[in-house]
């Protein structure tokens, strides 16, 4: 067998492994806005919950498509070896990630470790794309980190704090978060600080069943932020209400689900140009799925970002009710929020008891 044939066989085997490893963001390629490392020699991209490398691979594939694979020689070596970074807690997904990236020509730097519980490594990045693990498993205590303003055992909220830390000033991030992160205990505290340190300019509410078949009942969102600018407005696109839930075969997730959102988002990744703001206003007039909320409105909600405004017709149509799995997933979302709240109470009581013993 030739080296080329053997490499292709390995690539197909890795691709099959990746298909069973979980949702890696393949359908989000155009939603995470143009990660172009050609803009600056020091440009770096990171996924602190790398998994099998879905987001990193998507960002690289976007670049290959944009350049038709023809990179300048001085750019190629840097991009292939010193642009893509990540951290993964579990050895097997990390191996798959390294192999997947290697077979596509990338010598990525994927650290085996814990992004949350290890100290801040000090590295800073221009772009962070990440889908932190959902659920409460392994989150029994708050990490001890000086750079985390809010002490919480909520893994996803800690990833939000971690992303803010590792972004360079002016850097951007897209973070996938479950619904309960928008309203659970201490979420308001985290988002209050986030909107002071960053421009939380956009939230995309993903369709029901986005993570089918791996977590079919999980409801999730993508938040888009830019570090170093306070939030003035939060634009929310509802890609869920009255949209049929995603299934593996009959209604798979496709780029078409996000076509209108991309139009609403516009071509300015950080929404700083006047023309970009005007474009968003025009799109909000064209579709009721896109709506602006001022920071004053967000404050009045105590930074609860679980916002819907469209009437959900499925609640009145008995023939169009969500699947049992989706309903169970929604119940799990609220139960996990309650568990996170109880964990915070347990942590607080433990700290109080320790303080009493010392005194």
DSSP H/E element including 165: helix 155-166
At residue 341, does pLDDT exceed 80? no
Name the percent of the chain lying above pLDDT 70. 75
At residue 345, does pLDDT exceed 70? no
Q: According to the per-residue pLDDT averaged within each range, which of 71-75, 104-108, 219-223 is highest?
A: 219-223
Average pLDDT over residues 106-123: 93
pLDDT for 112 equals 97
Average pLDDT over residues 95-99: 93
At residue 309, does pLDDT exceed 50? yes
Contact 161, 149 (CB under 8 A): yes
Collapsed DSSP state (helix, strand, coil) of residue 261: helix
Instruction: Tell me the per-residue pLDDT of 128-146, one tens digit each, with 9 for 90 and over.
Output: 999 998 876 655 689 999 9
Collapsed DSSP state (helix, strand, coil) of residue 198: strand
Contact 190, 223 (CB under 8 A): no
At residue 263, does pLDDT exceed 50? yes
Instruction: Tell me the per-residue pLDDT of 8-42, one tens digit each, with 9 for 90 and over.
Output: 555 555 554 444 444 445 545 555 556 778 878 88
Start-to-end C-alpha separation, the chain: 72
d(Cα 86, Cα 93) in Å, to the nearest integer? 12
pLDDT for 169 equals 96
Of residues 133 and 302, more confidently modeled: 302
Of residues 358 and 112, more confidently modeled: 112
d(Cα 334, Cα 326) in Å, to the nearest integer? 13
d(Cα 338, Cα 343) in Å, to the nearest integer? 9
At residue 355, does pLDDT exceed 60? no
pLDDT for 22 equals 47
Contact 290, 283 (CB under 8 A): yes
List Cα–Cα distances, 138 to 116, 133, 142, 282, 343, in angstroms.
11, 10, 11, 45, 12
d(Cα 346, Cα 357) in Å, to the nearest integer? 17
d(Cα 183, Cα 227) in Å, to the nearest integer? 22
Sheet holding 220-227, edge to edge: 109-112, 84-88, 45-47, 125-130, 167-178, 220-227, 198-205, 233-238, 290-294
Compute how many other C-beta atoms are within 10 angstroms of the C-beta atom of residue 348.
11
Contact 197, 165 (CB under 8 A): no
d(Cα 334, Cα 317) in Å, to the nearest integer? 23
At residue 44, does pLDDT exceed 70? yes
pLDDT for 359 equals 47
Compute how many other C-beta atoms are within 10 angstroms of the C-beta atom of residue 296.
9
Residue 31 sits at the vertex; the CA angle it makes with 25 and 35, to the nearest 5 degrees, is 90
Mean pLDDT, all residues of the chain: 83
Burial letters 57-87, b for 16+ CB under 10 A, else e = bbbbebbeeeeeeebeeeeeebbbebbbbbb
Phi/psi zone of residue 232: left (φ > 0), alpha (ψ -120 to 50 degrees), beta?
A: alpha
pLDDT for 63 equals 84
Nearest CA to 308 out of 219, 203, 238 is that of: 238
Q: In the beta sheet, which residues pair with residue 35?
A: none
Strand residues in 145-218 grouped as ranges (E): 167-178, 198-205
At residue 59, does pLDDT exceed 90? no
pLDDT for 20 equals 43
List Cα–Cα distances, 75 to 37, 52, 189, in angstroms.
9, 25, 41
DSSP H/E element including 158: helix 155-166
d(Cα 65, Cα 67) in Å, to the nearest integer? 6
pLDDT for 21 equals 47
Nearest CA to 51 out of 24, 20, 84, 11 is that of: 24
Instruction: Tell me the per-residue pLDDT of 159-204, one tens digit each, with 9 for 90 and over.
Output: 999 999 999 999 999 999 999 999 988 999 999 999 999 999 999 9
> Residue 335 — pLDDT band, cuts 50, 70, 90?
low
Average pLDDT over residues 194-216: 89
Map out the domains of the chain with their CATH numbers: 13-304+317-358 (3.40.50.150)
Average pLDDT over residues 86-110: 93
Nearest CA to 184 out of 217, 150, 213 is that of: 150
């Amino acid at each position: 067998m030739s080296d080329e044939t053997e490499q292709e066989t390995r690539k197909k085997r890795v691709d099959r492994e990746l298909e069973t490893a979980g949702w890696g963001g393949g359908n989000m390629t155009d939603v995470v806005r143009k990660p172009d490392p050609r803009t600056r020699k020091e440009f770096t991209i990171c996924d602190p919950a790398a998994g099998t490398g879905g987001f990193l691979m998507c960002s690289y594939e976007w670049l290959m498509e944009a350049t038709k694979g023809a990179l300048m020689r001085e750019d190629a070596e840097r991009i292939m070896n010193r642009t893509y970074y990540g951290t993964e807690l579990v050895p097997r997904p990390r191996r798959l990630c390294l192999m997947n990236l290697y077979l596509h020509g990338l010598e990525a730097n994927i650290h085996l470790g814990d992004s949350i519980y290890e100290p801040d490594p000090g590295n800073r990045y221009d772009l962070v794309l990440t889908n932190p693990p959902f659920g409460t498993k392994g989150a029994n205590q708050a990490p001890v980190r000086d750079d985390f303003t809010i002490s919480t055992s909520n893994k996803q909220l800690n990833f939000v704090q971690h992303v803010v830390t590792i972004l360079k000033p002016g850097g951007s991030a897209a973070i996938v978060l479950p619904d309960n992160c928008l309203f659970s205990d201490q979420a308001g505290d985290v988002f209050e600080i986030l909107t002071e340190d960053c421009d939380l300019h956009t939230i995309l509410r993903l369709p029901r069943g986005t993570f089918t078949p791996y977590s079919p009942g999980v409801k999730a969102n993508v938040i888009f932020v830019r570090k170093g600018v306070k939030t003035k407005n939060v634009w929310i696109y509802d890609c869920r209400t009255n949209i049929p839930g995603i299934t593996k075969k009959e209604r798979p997730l496709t780029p078409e689900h996000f076509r209108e959102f991309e139009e609403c988002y516009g071509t300015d990744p950080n929404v700083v140009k006047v023309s970009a703001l005007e474009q968003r206003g025009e799109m909000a007039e064209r579709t009721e799925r896109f709506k602006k909320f001022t920071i004053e409105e967000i404050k009045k909600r105590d930074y609860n970002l679980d916002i819907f405004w469209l009437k959900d017709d499925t609640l009145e149509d008995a023939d169009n009710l969500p699947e049992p799995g989706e309903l169970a997933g929604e119940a799990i979302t609220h139960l996990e929020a309650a568990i996170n709240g109880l964990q915070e109470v347990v942590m607080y009581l433990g700290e109080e008891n320790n303080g009493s013993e010392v005194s």
